[in-house]
Chain A
Amino acid sequence: MSGAKSTGLARAAELYSVRGQRARELKQEGKKIFGYFCCYPPIEIMTALDIVPVRILGNMDEPITIADGYLPPVMCVFCRSAFDIGMKKSYDYFDGFVGAHACDGAERTALIWTNYIKTPCNFHLDIPHTAHNSAVDFFKQQIAYFQQAVEKFIGQKISPEALKDAVARHNRQRALVRDLYDLRKPDPPLISGSEMLQVLIALMCIPVEEGNVLLEEVIQEVRERPNVQAKKSRLLIWGSLIDNTAFTDLIESSGLNIVVEDTAIGTRPFWHDIEETQDPLDGIAEHYLKEVLCPRTFRDSGPSYQEDSEMRFGYLKEFAKYWKVDGVFANIIRNCDVHGYEVPVIKDYFAGLGLPVLVIEQDYSTAALETLRTRFQAFAETIG
């Protein structure tokens, strides 16, 4: 790739479209590359050992064929797709594989993965279901095991200073991502949902320092360029992740501007900084279990339905206000239970804020996308 030459959004677009390319180059240079599932494995630990963490995603363009013999069709299609392209050697450059008990689908896929796709180092990270204090302690221990496993593989210990430094670099990335999100506040936003997605996915395929440079370039470029976006209704996306611009393009060409996405590739990994604690693992455990706001974590129930909803989704009210949202798209990848069970409560909650919600269950396939266009167009008309 002519990666070194392009910068900013163009560079993000390149990294997005040939996702393993940069990691493969780095591997040639002697770096170790680890793949990880979901937004829960602490990437700071990998960074501290100079390992490049690469987020495992699926491929909406690729028909699922091989996975049919391993993962049944009732499983989340995203997981099946990730496994399918894994079997097709898309991730054959990994030196390590980190599975996680994020949701059933991701957990079982990761556990089955290691039977068929071999990598020199494997770790499966358990994640408790609650955010109780003892759960945070337990999670910290599991992260410590993860750290030991990676240290053993690399043959080097992580000093507390190195870990603190990695935390600081990733926090810097989080702050930069939030700065970029701020540029979606104007109407029309200064950066489109598709461009944003390219940047965020690019960050998940390269070392943190490169990502931070990229973000600085992108922020500067977006601030300085003339705004070419048209004024449209402003959309918040909540739910299962979106990892293909074909989807965001479809939405944005249907009369909507995506301004914020509460998903596993959107705000969730970036919205909160890891606190600098004396033992860095305390801050890391707290952050991932308590502050990554995915409905896979059970938060203690409130004294009434309304208060419970407020406790769980209050941040969405802030998002809606801050980005002056007109409507919400609840994106459910078919068979995604952790989001599926939330659909009526999410609708209730946004209805309380006067915001309409479009719920779509989709099959994680670009081939099936076009059929959704009329639904987005109709929604845009309703809220426009």
Chain B
Amino acid sequence: MEKKEFKTKKSAKTLQTAREAGYFGKKMLTSALEAQKEGRPIGWSMVTWWEGDLIAKAMGMELVYPENYGAFCAAVRRAEPYLEIADAEGYPNTLCGYARNCIGYTKTLADNNLEVPADAPGGGLAKPVLLISSGAACDARYKWFQALGRYLNGVPVWTLEMPQTGLKEFYLPGNKEKNLAFILEELKEFVGFLEKLLGNKMDYDRLEEMLAQTLKTLRLAYEVDVLRKTVPSPMVSQDFWSVMIPHLYLPEDPEAYEFYQKVYDEVKTKVDNHIGAIPNERYRMMFSELPPWHSIGFFDDIAEKFGIAMVIESWNYHAIKPMPAEELEGVTDPLEVIARLSYHKFTEDNDTARRYDASPGFFNARYLQWAEDYRADGFLAHPLMSCRPATYTLLHTKNSLEEKLKVPGVVIDGDIIDLRVFNPDEAFSKMEAFVETMDHYRELRRKAEMAW
């Protein structure tokens, strides 16, 4: 690929609260560094959609998230040297960009006697006592931690299980309960493993507290999603990608909840006063899946020029829809609540998938539902060179939206780490042409007497 200088383009963000959200990313990194100073155990964790994090934290672990660190290093333009190290170590350069960033970083950590290098971006990731992998949605998310054994000699890896049965199979009699029982069984094993590793007992009261707080935070984050259905859209993706950090990584933190109250209030005020996030909303689009972190400002440009509001985005980063009350009826074991909570993330769209006869339920069906709920005019698919799992279903989703709901899609290539893949000029011209496509499909929907 031709090497050319690439300018990052930050977004202005439309919400004041979104501008304040960076605090939480910094808080995670500094808490881990403080924990290291105090001799408290540090874990590196994949995003587990709350399956493993709460348990580890209730056991007194401080967690950091190398996936998030990858995005951070890319955003501050410090990923490249790490990617080069990973390449030199012999890892194929087609692997996940976050993983390669982390492998490169971990090699520098190992070379520095496992002391965080003084020049590490954001203060670095402190040495872990445990790596928490997850099999959910992406193979990289356990193969990558397994690979770190080369540098973190003897640091154990625990892989969390998340069943991913097919859509039809999900509805087989008893299957859902069996899946849940399996997750629960594994979570118990995980607790036992942690107790042995850390030499202390699980504090179930603490876990329950954290869980209660998590459920509250997730509900509030979901309420914000609901407000976003309003026309004109009171909040756009440029805002969401900042405000999502607390609910995805720190939902048990009371500060995260307070923060979402502020987000909610700000968005609600806009809704009540019919104020759109962008002043000239003409087209409402959905975005899938991981954004070009280094170029979020691109969305400001297409908003200004074409009146495109990115009204909803990135299924995998969103809080769950609240679970139906009967789902938790009589459930007292916090581990079981966690099992149900995380499983819900991967199965909550199965009914939609069934209704539309469009599997899989995860990564895909939600966009069909969202197209209706958010009155979407278009779908922006962002295939990534280095995050395959978030890319696999994009074309299929685009096809389904066009075929079933007359909502057209546009494909713009990019990457989460490699800045050079995203060509802002080309992307801009594509959007220019796509505006006409959206007009055309709008007409088709009108003729078909669809609701939007």
Contact = CB atoms under 8 A, between A and B. Distances in A.
Nearest to B400: A115
A298 B135 contact: yes
Interface stretch (B37-45, B144-152, B263-271, B367-375): B144-152
B178 A72 contact: no
A122 B167 CA distance: 11
Contact of A115 (B90, B392, B396): B396
A340 interface: yes
Interface string B63-99: 0000000000000000000000000011110111001
B154 A303 contact: yes
Interface string A268-310: 0000000000000000000000000001101001011100110
Contacts of A341: 91, 95, 99, 140, 143-144, 146-147
A301 B161 contact: no
Given A128-B161, A361-B94, A115 B358 contact: yes
Chain B interface size range:
35 or more
B242 interface: no
B139 A103 contact: yes
Given A301-B146, A337-B95, A134 B189 contact: yes
A119 to B, nearest CB: 13
B150 A296 contact: no
Interface-centre pick from A123, A126, A342, A343 (highest chain B CB count, 10 A): A126
Interface string B318-351: 0000000000000000000000000000000000
Give the interface centre of A111, A135, A296 by most chain B CB atoms within 10 Å: A111
A43 B143 CA distance: 27
Contacts of B147: 341-342, 344-345
Contacts of A114: 166, 359
B384 to A, nearest CB: 7
B178 A138 contact: yes
Interface in A69-114: 69-75, 99, 101, 103-105, 107-109, 111-112, 114
Contacts of B156: 301
B216 interface: no
Nearest to A109: B392
Given A128-B161, A305-B149, A347 B90 contact: yes
A123 B169 contact: yes
B94 A126 contact: no
A38 to B, nearest CB: 13
B142 A129 contact: yes
A35 to B, nearest CB: 15
Interface centre among B138, B139, B175, B182 (most CB of A within 10 A): B139
Interface in A119-174: 122-124, 126, 128-130, 132, 134-135, 137-138, 141-142, 145, 148
Contact of A124 (B91, B143, B149, B166): B166
A332 interface: yes
Interface in B113-170: 133, 135, 137-140, 142-144, 146-147, 149-150, 153-154, 156-157, 159, 161, 163-169
A216 interface: no
Interface string B387-403: 01101111110011000
Contact of B166 (A126, A304, A309): A126
A50 interface: no
A334 B233 CA distance: 41
A308 B152 CA distance: 12
A337 B139 contact: yes
A340 B175 CA distance: 33
B172 interface: yes
A105 B153 contact: no
B163 A138 contact: yes
A375 B105 CA distance: 31
B185 interface: yes
A72 B165 contact: no
Contact of A359 (B90, B133, B159, B185): B90
Given A301-B146, A335-B388, A126 B138 contact: no
A72 B90 contact: no
Contacts of A138: 161, 163, 178-179, 182
Nearest to A103: B139
Contacts of A295: 143
A105 B169 contact: no
A264 B325 CA distance: 45
Given A72-B391, A114-B359, A135 B182 contact: yes
B235 to A, nearest CB: 29
A286 to B, nearest CB: 16
A346 B135 CA distance: 22
B135 A128 contact: yes
A249 interface: no
Contacts of A130: 135, 159, 161, 186
Given A99-B166, A338-B143, 20 more contacts: A69-B395, A69-B399, A70-B396, A71-B396, A72-B394, A75-B388, A104-B138, A108-B360, A111-B359, A115-B396, A124-B167, A124-B169, A135-B182, A142-B169, A145-B169, A298-B142, A303-B154, A334-B94, A341-B143, A344-B147
The 10 closest A-B pairs by CB, nearest first: A124-B166, A129-B135, A341-B143, A108-B392, A134-B185, A138-B182, A111-B360, A344-B90, A340-B92, A126-B165
20 contacts: A70-B396, A73-B383, A101-B164, A108-B392, A112-B392, A115-B396, A126-B163, A126-B166, A128-B161, A130-B186, A135-B182, A135-B186, A137-B185, A138-B178, A142-B169, A295-B143, A304-B154, A305-B150, A335-B94, A341-B147
Interface of B: 89-92, 94-96, 99, 133, 135, 137-140, 142-144, 146-147, 149-150, 153-154, 156-157, 159, 161, 163-169, 172, 175, 178-179, 182, 185-186, 189, 358-360, 383-386, 388-389, 391-396, 399-400
